[in-house]
């Protein structure tokens, strides 16, 4: 698959404005963006700032064009950076009338639809990767309750039968906050990234390796995952010994909330002094208790931490330089919907009993180990995403042998 189609929309002016930064940035995009060995064709469309009109037009555009990628763009006059929205709410509320004079008050966007829907792209990982290239991108879990939120909710409703189709929303600041050229450049980079994900997804579901998708000159990006106790870190060590640069997601997740970091400051502001330990560091247990069972609190926390983890990961991996193999050792690759972000995905697996025995040997009580396993994706879910599987159920020599085979495949890449 070399040609990818994308729908990208901006909005008309509203609230007395004479233009809308979203459309100014979208209209400046070219008709086609170049991919390595392919292209993404753009359909650029202007949406009305009316609840009913935007929803109807979005449904029509998605149904008639069947685009591979759907990106809606709107203005948030208070935004400081470009924001990838993670969440749409099934609620329309307006403090000012829309351009048709409609002013809903807690109306449902889709009658009897779920309370919220999540964008089908890995927003945090994308924001991190784009910001690592110097673009001003972050994530947000609240697109408001105005026309933009309705647009996102409707689009996610429309693509529900195919949740692998990347669909989401970008809020952009006023042109006086961030100039239109930077916004256009960011949208182009986002579209290229999403189009490459679509190409990898198609390669994978057609039974080919994601490695078959052409790439520009840069390090090979490898996602390495496995359930707790699978021996993923042992494999990471073996790949490092052969020359891979290994980036550890868990280590970055700790680093971004060290004392003195902006993330820890934001967490303190949002969740209170109660989540800060006596030594000024993060009290993980207290924070876990706050977000446990509270999806909205968890989403807010993730918006503070995950884009920073992803940005640090992308920076470190790209620093490996072209021709090198950069491995991201990430436990929650499947859970985070990140598989197609990588040029190839390696899954390490081991039988459940063996994993439990390893965890017990490390001092984790069996019940705790089982509880942690039940919170992770299943082996089947992880394996379904893999380009390469490593079985870690035998002697270390057997593991080395498989890693040698995998390394050859990566070097051929």
Q: Considering Cα of 88, then 328, then 376, then 277, what sign does the dihedral take? A: negative
**Which of 49, 235, 239, 388 contacts ligand PCA by CB under 6 A?**
49
Segment (H or E) for 294: none
Q: If you search the block for the tokens 């884009």, which residue do you land on? A: 307
- In the complex with ligand PCA, the residue whose CB is nearer, 121 or 146, is 146
Q: What is the CA radius of gyration of the chain?
A: 22
- In the complex with ligand PCA, the residue whose CB is nearer, 73 or 310, is 73
79 binds ligand PCA (CB under 6 A): no
144 binds ligand PCA (CB under 6 A): yes
Between the CA of residue 328 and those of 10, 224, 255, 325, 331, what are the distances in Å? 35, 6, 16, 10, 10
74 binds ligand PCA (CB under 6 A): yes
- In the complex with ligand PCA, the residue whose CB is nearer, 49 or 386, is 49
Number of residues binding to ligand PCA, judged by CB under 6 A: 12
Are 119 and 87 within 8 A, CB to CB? yes
| CA 402/CA 90 separation, integer angstroms | 48
- In the complex with ligand PCA, the residue whose CB is nearer, 153 or 271, is 153
342 binds ligand PCA (CB under 6 A): no
169 binds ligand PCA (CB under 6 A): no
**Which of 42, 147, 178, 238 contacts ligand PCA by CB under 6 A?**
147
Q: How many CB atoms lie within 10 A of CB 310?
A: 30
With CA atoms as reference, report the closest residue to 196 among 209, 210, 182.
210
274 is in an annotated binding site: no
Cross-strand bridge partners of residue 167: 70
Segment (H or E) for 369: helix 366-375
**Which of 9, 20, 138, 154 contacts ligand PCA by CB under 6 A?**
20
Tokens of 250: 């868990």
- In the complex with ligand PCA, the residue whose CB is nearer, 146 or 342, is 146
Q: If you search the block for the tokens 């359930």, which residue do you land on? A: 227
Stretch that binds ligand PCA, among 14-22, 78-86, 200-208, 329-337 (CB under 6 A): 14-22
Query: What residue ranges in 249-324 does DSSP mark as E strands?
Result: none
76 binds ligand PCA (CB under 6 A): yes
**Which of 11, 153, 169, 342 contacts ligand PCA by CB under 6 A?**
11
- In the complex with ligand PCA, the residue whose CB is nearer, 158 or 211, is 158
Instruction: Specify binding-site residues for ATP.
Output: 229-234
Residues that bind ligand PCA (CB under 6 A): 11, 14, 20, 22, 49, 74-76, 144, 146-148
């Amino acid at each position: 698959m070399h040609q990818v189609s994308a729908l990208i929309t901006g909005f008309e002016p509203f609230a007395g404005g004479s233009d809308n930064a979203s459309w100014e940035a979208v209209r400046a995009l070219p008709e086609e963006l170049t991919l390595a060995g392919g292209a993404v064709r753009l359909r650029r469309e202007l949406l009305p700032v009316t609840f009913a009109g935007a929803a109807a037009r979005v449904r029509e555009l998605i149904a008639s064009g069947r685009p591979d990628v759907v990106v809606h763009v709107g203005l948030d006059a208070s935004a400081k950076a470009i924001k990838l929205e993670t969440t749409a709410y099934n609620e329309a509320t307006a403090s000012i009338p829309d351009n048709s004079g409609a002013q809903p008050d807690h109306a449902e966007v889709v009658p009897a639809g779920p309370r919220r829907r999540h964008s089908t792209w890995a927003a945090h990982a994308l924001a991190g990767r784009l910001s690592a290239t110097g673009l001003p991108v972050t994530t947000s879990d609240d697109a408001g309750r105005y026309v933009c939120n309705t647009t996102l909710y409707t689009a996610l409703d429309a693509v529900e039968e195919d949740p692998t189709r990347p669909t989401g929303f970008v809020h952009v600041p006023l042109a006086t906050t961030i100039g239109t050229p930077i916004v256009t450049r960011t949208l182009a980079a986002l579209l290229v990234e999403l189009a490459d994900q679509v190409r990898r997804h198609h390669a994978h579901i057609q039974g080919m390796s994601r490695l078959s998708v052409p790439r520009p000159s840069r390090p090979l990006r490898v996602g390495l995952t496995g359930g707790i106790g699978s021996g993923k870190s042992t494999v990471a060590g073996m790949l490092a010994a052969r020359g891979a640069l290994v980036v550890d997601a868990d280590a970055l997740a700790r680093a971004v909330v060290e004392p003195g970091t902006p993330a820890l400051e934001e967490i303190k502001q949002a969740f209170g002094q109660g989540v800060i330990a006596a030594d000024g560091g993060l009290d993980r247990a207290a924070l876990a208790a706050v977000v446990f069972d509270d999806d909205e609190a968890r989403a807010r926390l993730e918006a503070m931490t995950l884009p920073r983890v992803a940005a640090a990961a992308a920076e470190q991996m790209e620093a490996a330089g072209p021709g090198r193999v950069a491995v991201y050792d990430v436990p929650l690759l499947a859970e985070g919907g990140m598989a197609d972000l990588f040029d190839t995905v390696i899954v390490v697996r081991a039988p459940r009993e063996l994993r439990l025995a390893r965890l017990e040997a490390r001092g984790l009580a069996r019940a705790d180990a089982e509880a942690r396993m039940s919170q992770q994706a299943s082996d089947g879910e992880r394996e379904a995403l893999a380009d390469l599987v490593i079985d870690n159920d035998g002697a270390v020599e057997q593991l080395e042998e498989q890693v040698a085979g995998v390394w050859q495949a990566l070097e051929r890449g």
